[in-house]
Amino acid sequence: MTVTTTIVVQDRVDAYELFAAARTVLGLPLDGRWHLVDHGLTHMLQTLPDQGAPALASVHFPVNGGRHPGEPDAGIPGGYALLAFTSDGGDTGRTRHWHRDLTGRASAWLTNRRLAWTYSYDDGPYTTGYAPHTPAGTR
């Protein structure tokens, strides 16, 4: 069974810094063992399998620095970057617990930078994370 947790960053964020944070959360080294996938207007940074981590991390971001449209048909809201942790197989209860931990550690990184974010745990509904004290419409 595949478990995916997606965090959508609602404020501008450097995709490479976010990806470095995701690799750190997974306990992976920051050098090598990842690749960039060119999807045209959107790129994806992704860790490579077989590194001993129980999940892969990927960051999807628009090349032009604008907002990522999300995937409205799949219920994924738009934002400046989408961070996904994906695990295949294994003990479902243990994997879900691990994804909660990954979400907590990744969201702490975002919150410390005062970035607004939402997340979907195991393909569930999106829940609002931290929202900086910034009046609506000024972002």
Distance CA 128, CA 135 (A): 16
pLDDT tens, per residue, the chain with 139 residues: 788 889 999 999 999 999 999 999 999 988 878 999 998 899 999 999 888 888 899 999 999 988 988 888 888 888 999 999 998 876 677 788 888 888 889 989 998 998 999 998 876 778 776 655 554 444 4
- pTM score of the predicted model: 0.86
Distance CA 77, CA 75 (A): 6
The whole-number pLDDT of residue 25 equals: 93
